[in-house]
Amino acid sequence: MRKYFETIRFVVILGLFTSTILLGMEYITNKKIEAVIAARFKQSVLEAHSLSYTQNNVNDIYEAEITELDLEDVTFYVSNTTGNITFEFSGGGVWGPISGIITLDSNFELIVNIIVLVQEETPGLGGIVAEDQYLETFVGKSMLPSIDIIKDAITLENNQVDSITGATKTSDAFETILNTTYSTYKTIWDNQ
């Protein structure tokens, strides 16, 4: 019986020791992780506005070139030079969330840039939604009356983009995410 007590005591002490180390490491690294995430987001906003930066001057360039406007719990990132407006979008894809940032012209209509930051779609199919080559097809397209992702289109209108071959549901989800976010944020932007 004493042997079992010794074993249990050893396991409890070892568990407390390792848990304390893990919690301590989380406490020590948590602020650094948050700083890295914030810096990466700032880099994405700068890239969405086609602004050059280095690792050493990300914060300086961001502060000089971008104005953050908080309206109704939504943050808009406005270029001090062009007036282009960036905001975040997020929603459900087929296999997980799709989120990123979209930059529109100062009239809040034409797509200037779009970056997908997170997606969990099937690699090689729906995962194409995050590839630069696909996202570049959105540049210059109008969000009005809505962006339409069309399958097998021969000619595309100014608000239409070709869908991802083999990933129709991902294309539909991405279209819904963009249009829903745009509709909501356009109302907020217009009411400022």
**From the first residue on, what is the mean pLDDT of each consecutive set of 10 residues in the chain (192 residues)?**
83 91 91 91 96 93 97 96 97 95 97 96 89 95 94 85 89 96 97 89
Q: pTM of this prediction?
A: 0.84
Number of domains composing the chain: 1
- Output the CA–CA distances (angstroms, integers) from residue 178 to 24, 59, 100, 102, 172, in the order listed: 41, 28, 10, 9, 10
- Specify if 119 maps to a domain: yes
- Specify if 88 maps to a domain: yes
- Output the CA–CA distances (angstroms, integers) from residue 184 to 1, 66, 68, 115, 158, in the order listed: 67, 22, 18, 19, 21
pLDDT score, position 3: 78
Q: Residue 108 sits in which domain range?
A: 67-190
- Specify if 21 maps to a domain: no
pLDDT score, position 5: 84
- Specify if 38 maps to a domain: no
pLDDT score, position 9: 87
- Specify if 81 maps to a domain: yes
Residue 141 near residue 161, CB atoms below 8 Å: yes
- Specify if 1 maps to a domain: no
